[in-house]
């Protein structure tokens, strides 16, 4: 069997950064949150069941995000083994 998958919904992205500085024997680590982004996530794909027990699946598809500061497109390929 083949399953059609469709995704659509909100996307919230947070840019988290860090830095480390050393002064002799002292290590200073700073974790900071930068501007966030709000957008829309979308995608589609196909899921294939590879055996009659439905314990091996193959997923392929496309995902994208469109927001104020970011636009990404990607393909995905996945193999799932259920036991």
Instruction: Give the SS3 label for residue 3.
Output: strand
- Per-residue pLDDT of 5-43, as tens digits, reads 999 999 887 777 777 888 888 888 877 776 778 899 999
More confident residue, 3 or 12: 3
Put simply, whether the predicted model's pTM sits higher than 0.75 gets the answer: no
Task: Give the C-alpha separation, 52 to 59, whole Å.
Answer: 16
Task: Give the C-alpha separation, 80 to 83, whole Å.
Answer: 10
Task: Tokens for 39, please give them.
Answer: 């957008």
């Amino acid at each position: 069997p083949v399953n059609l998958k469709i995704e659509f919904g909100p996307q919230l992205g947070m840019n988290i950064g860090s830095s480390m500085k050393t002064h002799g024997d002292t290590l200073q680590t700073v974790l900071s949150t930068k501007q966030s982004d709000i957008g829309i996530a979308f995608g589609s794909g196909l899921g294939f069941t590879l055996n009659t027990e439905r314990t091996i699946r193959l997923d392929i598809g496309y995902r994208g995000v469109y927001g104020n500061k970011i636009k990404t497109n990607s393909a995905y390929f996945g193999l799932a083994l259920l036991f």
